[in-house]
Amino acid sequence: MADKGTKTESAGKRDSGKSSWQERKLEKVVRDDIDIISRKTRDQSDFISMLNTHDNVLYQLRMNMGRNRNLTFDKAQEFIERSLRIKEEINLLNAEMCQLMNWDYRPPRGFTNPLAAAEHGKKTKGATDFPDGDLDRANTNSA
């Protein structure tokens, strides 16, 4: 029969070079290309998974357009524009849900509240027309 005390002690130890998933996550947190997203619903977990994939695919699309015959600049531009439209749709969806619950909607940096712009007939101070929040492009065009 095995000694239970020995089994418990060895179970808590890790082989050298291996780290737990918590340790790997903590190592990633300090990187400047990592953001933390809290999730309260299963829907959010789905969005996080899709966004991680989208981030990787969009990066590869931009890096490989023009190098692959199937991936023309026009097709890449079409995908990027669709991605921007989807972000605007999510922004609108969030604004509509907040309005229904009588909450003030504060859109993320670089976006405006689409319902406030429609109600007031003007845009929020400091907001840009660029859905990706590219303020340099906004400043260049306004000059």
Q: What letters, b where the CB count within 10 A reaches 16 and e where it falls short, cover 45-63? A: eeeeeeeeeeeeeeeebee
The pLDDT tens digits for 47-59 are 889 999 999 999 9
In Å, the largest CA–CA distance within the chain is 81
Secondary structure (DSSP) of 85-117: HHHHHHHHHHHHHHHHTT----PPTT---HHHH
- Pairwise CA distance, residues 2 & 23, whole Å: 30
CB atoms within 10 A of CB 113: 22
pLDDT, position 103: 96
pLDDT, position 121: 57
Specify whether the CB–CB gap between 91 and 114 falls below 8 A.
Answer: yes
The pLDDT tens digits for 33-80 are 777 777 788 888 888 899 999 999 999 999 998 898 889 999 999 999
The pLDDT tens digits for 89-106 are 999 999 999 999 999 999
Which residues are 65's β-sheet partners?
A: 68
